[in-house]
Amino acid sequence: MTEQLKGKVNYSTQGNIAILEVDNPPVNPLSSGVRAGLSEYILKANSDDSIEGIILTGAGRSFIAGADISEFGQKPDGPDLHTALREIEFSKKPVVAAINGTALGGGLETALVCNYRIGTNKAIVGLPEVNLGLLPGAGGTQRLPRLIGPSQALKMMLAGTPMSAKKALDQGVIDAISENSLIEDAILFLQDKIGLDEHPKVRDKNDKVIEARGDNNILAEARALAAKTRRGQFAPGQIIACVEAAINEDNFDDGMKKEADYFLECLVNPQREAMIHIFFGERAASKIADIPKETPLHPINKAGVVGSGTMGGGIAMLFANAGIPVLVLDQDEDNLKRGMGVIEKNYKMMVDRGRMLEEQKDAVMQLITPTLTYEDLSEVDIVVEAVYENLDLKQEIFQKLDTHTNANAILASNTSGLDIDAIASSTSRPGKVVGTHFFSPANIMRLLEVVRGEESSDETMATVMALGKKMNKASVVSLNAPGFIGNRMLSGYTYQANMLLLEGALPNQVDNALESFGMSMGPFRMMDLVGLDLGWRARKLAGIESPLVNKISDELCEQDRFGQKNARGFYNYSEGSRAPNPAPENEDIYKSISEKHNFVRREISDQEIIDRCILALVNEGAQILSEGVAQRSGDMDIVYINGYGFPIWRGGPMCYANMLGLDEVTKRMEEFAKSDEKFWKISPLLTKLATEGSRFGEAPSKEEREAKLSFKDSKNMGGV
């Protein structure tokens, strides 16, 4: 094998069987050396007369994790995958895929060109390309429908979620599960097949696709599913078109040609770049630049949660789902009972929706134990405090935790904005104190902001990041600065939405514009959901006059319109429904407040709405980056996609700005600055990158480099 190629395939023999082992750690993607190795060794096994069967497997924990994602968008290098797969498919000697771990994307597609597939009971198979803005482009859209039927194949490809070995066996994706030694079982399996005149090829199994011809429901259902679950995405339509070809083309290779054309269209679509940016961005975000990879982790075998409300309950579920026994503490017995009831109800809902088996529910519920006393927390390795936002109360709780937990336990606060250092100062172990800002509902939302206090130790940070991974969270580190990353950026976004309302737009125009941009919920629907009265009450309590930007929402509160909670806010809600209906009765309020504050209401274009709200995120993001509050621009994209409903196919606000061009971004901001100079102070980092013709996260400018380097030292507590 040539040295420059990436990854390799190991070749060995056991009697009359050749074993090809893909070796490209950590997860064996189909990089250039793997593609070359597969071709070379299939040919070698075929030309060796002593060999009668071939096993294809993977080294380590993965079979093959798919195509090498880092190659997309780069100049093609080395032999192509289709050649290697053809060699396997047309091998004279039978080939069995011995699936030892994850067989994803091109990995499963490789298994589908083998004559047989056998997996361990830990094997995972799937075609997740849709999550990268792609379609299975190595024959998956043509072979999977032939194997399991177009309807099931479409569901699997549109969901992009992997399935267990057991499910794969039930559906016919694999032929057998090995309960013992996979290679030994694969050899036995093959010995049984050697000598047969013919070995099955998935490409020849036409029954299921022919049966689907003329059944319009299959494609219509897939389109409905894609519209519901993948709004705005390009790849799902392409996947459906490929399966349509699998159903209707008489010749398998004609379907393959269509797949290749549709794949190419995905490849050049900007959504592909955006979604792959998120794939790598999520993995980058989980690393902390100045904390070595080898940092020892504090083992988390038992956890505690203080507070049994919505957040506390959701966090307890996360521990239990990760297999970690958890104590839920509340000082009020009724609250605790209610909280445990809500947890049970949430799990029951999952069972009812087929997302969990009854016995799984019983198993996780067994891991959650209610308690009324701090003494019970003496053995836990971590506690997450999740009570309401009040510094005095949190400090009091942390003092108790410091007294009652063992000295090594990590103490985390789920605060969404209080100063972690102030909380840590109430303990004797500030190095063990950290912020874990989960988003509501914690058991569903993927974002976790891990807030690094002045003294949070490397071990504490590394342990919490690893815990986040175990909980399947997208974890992002933020320095301890007001609003952390997400809420600080959000303030400019909602500011702009409120100003647009004062200037002449209506809530549903703003919401519709941003939802058609791809946001999962417009800002006014979001404000109604959160409750308009929170800020209003806080201002009243503190005797603060409403700032201009809140004049309208505060007036709505004065008129008893608090949002969804009392069925009227910016919108009206029918009883028991969360669907917003226009509230024309509010329009007089908007008009009179605008007039009172000297705004001449005007027509505002949807483009202006999108630009002002989204570019406000970008500008604050650039500022956060230059202050070192976030480590890298991609982290802000991860925050916005996983916590704030930003469309994944746009790659997050910073990626969106990159794609728009930073010079164009600054030009539009300069235009807005003409009417609101105070708000539109363009971040010097953004200006610098735009002037250099650079992008966020790419060829970092001096400022961006320095921002990263100063991450640990910077602690700007100002300027939300």
Give the nearest distance from C-beta 70 to ligand 3H9 in angstroms: 5
Total H helices, total E strands in the chain: 30, 18
Which regions of 24-151 does DSSP assign to beta strands (E)? 53-58, 62-64, 95-99, 102-104, 116-120, 124-126
Residue bearing tokens 């303030």: 491
Q: By C-beta, is 283 or 597 nearer to ligand 3H9?
A: 283
Q: How far apart are CA 435 and CA 382, in angstroms?
A: 12
* DSSP β-bridge partners for residue 19: 12, 55
**How many C-beta atoms lie closer than 10 Å to residue 264's C-beta?**
12
Give the nearest distance from C-beta 144 to ligand 3H9 in angstroms: 11
> Could you please report the per-residue DSSP string of 13-48?
EETTEEEEEEE-TTT--B-HHHHHHHHHHHHHHHH-
Which regions of 287-367 does DSSP assign to beta strands (E)? 303-306, 326-329
Length of the chain: 720
Angle between helices 486-503 and 587-596 (to 10 degrees): 90
Catalytic residue among 82, 199, 437, 597: 437
Q: By C-beta, is 140 or 236 nearer to ligand 3H9?
A: 140
List C-alpha distances in Å: 392 to 399, 416, 591.
Answer: 11, 15, 42
Give the nearest distance from C-beta 474 to ligand 3H9 in angstroms: 12
Give the nearest distance from C-beta 184 to ligand 3H9 in angstroms: 25
Per the omega criterion (within 30 degrees of 0), is the bond before 441 cis?
Answer: yes
Q: By C-beta, is 143 or 429 nearer to ligand 3H9?
A: 143
Give the nearest distance from C-beta 631 to ligand 3H9 in angstroms: 14
Q: By C-beta, is 90 or 280 nearer to ligand 3H9?
A: 280
* Chain contacts with ligand 3H9 (rule: CB under 6 A): 26-27, 29, 62, 65-70, 81, 102, 104-106, 109, 128-129, 132, 134, 136-138, 140, 280, 283
Contact call for residues 305 and 384 (beta carbons, < 8 A) = yes
**Structure token digits, residue 516:** 């058609």
Contact call for residues 123 and 99 (beta carbons, < 8 A) = yes
**How many C-beta atoms lie closer than 10 Å to residue 123's C-beta?**
29
Q: How far apart are CA 165 and CA 157, in angstroms?
A: 17
Q: By C-beta, is 102 or 238 nearer to ligand 3H9?
A: 102
Q: By C-beta, is 29 or 569 nearer to ligand 3H9?
A: 29
Q: By C-beta, is 138 or 163 nearer to ligand 3H9?
A: 138
Give the nearest distance from C-beta 266 to ligand 3H9 in angstroms: 10
404 is catalytic: no
Give the nearest distance from C-beta 388 to ligand 3H9 in angstroms: 34
Q: How far apart are CA 478 and CA 419, in angstroms?
A: 12
- Residues acting as catalytic residues: 437
